Amino acid sequence: MKRTTTAFVIATLACLVCLPGLSLADQPSILAKVGEKSITKDEVYNAAAAKLAEIRQAEYEALNNALNEMVDRMLLTAEAERLGLSLDEYFKKHIEEKVTAPSDEEVNSFYERYKSRLRGQTLEAARPQIVDRLKQVAAQGIYKKIMTDLKAKTKVSLFLEPPRTKVGLGDFPVWGSESAKVTIVEFSDYQCPYCSRAETQAIAQIKDKYKGKVRIAFRNYPLPFHNNAQKAHEAAACAGDQGKFWEMHEKLFANQNALGVEQLKAYAVELALDSEKFNSCLDSGKFADAIAKDAKEGAALGVQGTPAFFINGRFLSGAQPFSAFAAIIDEELARSGS
């Protein structure tokens, strides 16, 4: 278990806070000229948006890790002093001495699970390092339980704000209550398999567990190499014209391998839409510009692929498990006092 010294943590936190920043506001509106053509500040910012978002997130994570280590150390130090122990004595008595040797069954199970990573070592050859690893896991479990108990007894409030991006809801229907404390803006592609996985797993669980607390705005980001994505997105918008955006939304994700125009029109029939109005809407490209607008805004926000999510402005990329969403949602609800 890593024991970061207080001095090191404070120094790290101070260094990160004092890092000089490059303020966009201080830059001239035109950053370069090539012959008679200009490159503007906004164009450069949009081109660098994804990398800047990564940097802001990395800085936040470094600060947050340092802050949490400092909080943990303060709690542990106070508890050790209460018991008349030094911090090292506390670790030894309450963690190290409580870790027992793993059973043969646990060692064998670990070996079978990770055999491919052990570079051909036999069970007996790998046993010492497996035992050490299992002891580390056990120690981490004990440490986590101690910290949970200490934080339950001592009020701990964290005020470090994560990086947030201002993201609009777009022009299409939004799922959930306007009074919800957490807003998720999702940039997605109906033909993207990772988007389908996120929709049917994580998003479905979010809608079930956090109903009334979360609202979700679906924004369009059809990838250019998905030849049926554009019309699929238009189909959802056309269905929305008749009050059935979310019904078509679910239908499209459930049929990713059948998104041709005629198939889209057949789905409209299945959903009991007015076929003539739907077909006219789809064939005319009525919503093509609105969908292109979504994709352009997403790119300017740093979206490079799908799915991409902004949870109260906090960026989360890819088909993450429900637990990744839940961790941020719970934190945001706690911040709002919900």
Residue 174: Cβ-neighbour burial (10 angstroms; 0-12, 13-18, 19+): middle
Residue 273 has pLDDT above 90, yes or no: yes
Q: What pLDDT, on the 0 to 100 scale, is given for residue 21? A: 55
Within 10 Å of residue 281's Cβ, how many Cβ atoms?
22
Give the pLDDT confidence score for residue 3 in this predicted structure. 39
Confidence of residue 156 (pLDDT cuts 50, 70, 90): confident
Q: Mean pLDDT lowest for which of 15-24, 232-241, 261-270?
A: 15-24
pLDDT band of 70, cuts 50, 70, 90: very high
Asked if pLDDT for residue 19 goes beyond 70, the answer is no
What's the gap between Cα 179 and its chain centre?
22
Residue 22 — pLDDT band, cuts 50, 70, 90? low
Give pLDDT, residue 51.
84
| pLDDT for residue 250 is more than 90 | yes
In percent, the amount of the chain with pLDDT more than 90 equals 80
Q: Which of 50-59, 197-206, 300-309 has the lowest mean pLDDT?
A: 50-59
Residue 59 banded pLDDT, cuts 50, 70, 90: very high
Average pLDDT (82-107) is 96
Q: How far apart are CA 116 and CA 106, in angstroms?
A: 17
Average pLDDT over residues 157-161: 90
CATH class of 174-336: alpha beta
pLDDT at 24: 67
pLDDT classification of 166: cutoffs 50, 70, 90: very high
pLDDT band at 23 (very low <50, low <70, confident <90, very high): low
For residue 216, pLDDT over 50 is answered with: yes
Return the closest-CA partner of residue 86 out of 30, 210, 3, 152. 3
Does the structure show a pLDDT above 70 at 258? Answer: yes
Q: Does 11 have pLDDT greater than 50?
A: no
Nearest to 191 by CA among 275, 256, 133: 256
Domain boundaries, the chain: 6-82, 87-153, 174-336
Residue pair 288/230 in contact by the 8 Å Cβ criterion: yes
